């Protein structure tokens, strides 16, 4: 549905050229929800804004349903753009218009008659669960309600593609969940293709089918969400994945840890499981095979896209050689091992 071929974009800032987007290829299949994740300044906004030519790439092709937008004359581009809706972090509603007026605006601009506008706005507000707020002004709505209005407005022209620019970044976690659930419903009910950018892996985890990581203006890794969480190759991808797991040591325990093993220090490990390693009985095997004890302090396992992954905090006790061999054994079984410190 969306195909980017070798698009790139640089900005001039005083006497400096900033390559915000290096030559990039991307394919977003029809009906999918595709997430692009990256840190601040990675190039996410530049990339998504190139899709509807809000930002004109310096080169390359932007194909929507096979039509290259970069070659279209202004009038035809305006027509094609109606198929590509967009929602934003700060909603971009018109404060002087009611909810009805905001959702009606694209229909008025398209020259629809009054009765059709009434019908369509009502249908859209029902879809986003906001029918009772039809006469409210944006100032009297919560953040989540404002984003629902923005989604209804985005859908007014029956687009094929919805671009979401950090659409939940200004919302609290509960509201974020409800907006993401709404986007998933719309994706399934209307068959809408969704491309979103985010700096939060939770967003990807909750609704995306596919994900790509952007860093320094390049897509460095991408794939279906399940395999991606299970077998991420790059350090950055693994960091984003780890950010969705929350395993904290009790503060008293953390303070008692030492950096060096000393005479009798037992290592405290953070073990990251991915894919096959989650189901294999590697912990008990390591304990038996190398004659050590493994005490599990806490663990969290999750399912994403049908794949399990997880984190565990564990203390290894026994002779030094057995502990070292056990650590090597765990690494050989696709478990990332990090020594957090030593328990005396």
38/322 with CB nearer ligand ATP: 38
User: What is the separation of C-alpha 158 from the centre of its chain, rounded to a whole number of angstroms?
Assistant: 24
39/61 with CB nearer ligand ATP: 39
28/47 with CB nearer ligand ATP: 47
Strand partners, 13: 16
Closest CB 304 distance from ligand ATP, rounded Å: 23
Two tokens at 283?
A: 């912990």
On whether the CB atoms of residues 240 and 201 are closer than 8 A, the answer is yes
13/252 with CB nearer ligand ATP: 13
C-alpha dihedral (82, 86, 91, 97), degrees to nearest 10: 0
Distance between CA atoms of residues 167 and 78, nearest Å: 23
Q: Coil, helix or strand for 197?
A: strand
Tell me the CB-side half-sphere exposure of residue 228, using CA atoms within 13 A: 26
Distance between CA atoms of residues 187 and 104, nearest Å: 22
Closest CB 162 distance from ligand ATP, rounded Å: 18
Q: Is 158 exposed, middle or buried (0-12, 13-18, 19+ CB in 10 A)?
A: exposed
Distance between CA atoms of residues 136 and 80, nearest Å: 32
On whether the CB atoms of residues 195 and 164 are closer than 8 A, the answer is yes
91/309 with CB nearer ligand ATP: 91
Closest CB 10 distance from ligand ATP, rounded Å: 8
Closest CB 217 distance from ligand ATP, rounded Å: 7
Under the rule (CB under 6 A), what is the footprint of ligand ATP? 11, 13, 18, 20, 38, 40-46, 199
Closest CB 26 distance from ligand ATP, rounded Å: 14
236/286 with CB nearer ligand ATP: 236
With CA atoms as reference, report the closest residue to 183 among 220, 210, 152, 212. Answer: 152
Closest CB 46 distance from ligand ATP, rounded Å: 3
């Amino acid at each position: 549905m969306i195909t980017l071929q070798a698009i790139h974009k640089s900005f001039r800032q005083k006497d400096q050229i900033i390559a915000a987007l290096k030559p990039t290829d991307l394919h977003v299949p029809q009906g999918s929800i595709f997430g692009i994740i990256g840190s601040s300044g990675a190039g996410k906004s530049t990339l998504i804004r190139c899709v509807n030519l809000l930002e004109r790439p310096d080169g390359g092709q932007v194909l929507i349903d096979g039509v290259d937008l970069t070659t279209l004359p202004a009038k035809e581009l305006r027509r094609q753009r109606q198929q590509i809706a967009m929602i934003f972090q700060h909603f971009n509603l018109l404060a002087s218009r009611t909810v009805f007026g905001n959702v009606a605006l694209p229909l008025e601009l398209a020259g629809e008659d009054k009765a059709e506008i009434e019908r369509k706005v009502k249908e859209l507000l029902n879809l986003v669960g906001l029918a009772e707020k039809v006469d409210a002004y944006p100032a009297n709505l919560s953040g989540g309600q404002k984003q629902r209005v923005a989604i209804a407005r985005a859908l007014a022209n029956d687009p094929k593609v919805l671009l979401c620019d950090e659409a939940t970044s200004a919302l609290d976690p509960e509201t974020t969940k409800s907006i993401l659930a709404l986007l998933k419903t719309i994706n399934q009910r209307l068959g809408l293709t969704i491309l979103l950018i985010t700096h939060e892996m939770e967003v990807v985890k909750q609704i995306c089918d596919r994900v790509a990581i952007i860093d320094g203006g390049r897509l460095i890794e991408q794939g279906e969400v399940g395999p991606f969480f299970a077998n991420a190759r790059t350090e950055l991808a693994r960091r984003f994945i780890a950010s969705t797991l929350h395993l904290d040591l009790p503060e008293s325990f953390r303070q008692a840890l030492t950096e060096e093993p000393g005479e009798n220090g037992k290592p405290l490990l953070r073990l990251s499981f991915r894919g096959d390693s989650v189901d294999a009985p590697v912990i008990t095997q390591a304990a038996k095979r190398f004659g050590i004890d493994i005490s599990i302090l806490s663990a969290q396992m999750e399912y994403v896209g049908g794949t399990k992954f997880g984190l565990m905090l564990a203390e290894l006790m026994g002779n030094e050689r057995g502990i070292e061999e056990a650590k090597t054994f765990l690494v050989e079984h696709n478990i990332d091992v990090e020594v957090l410190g030593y328990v005396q």
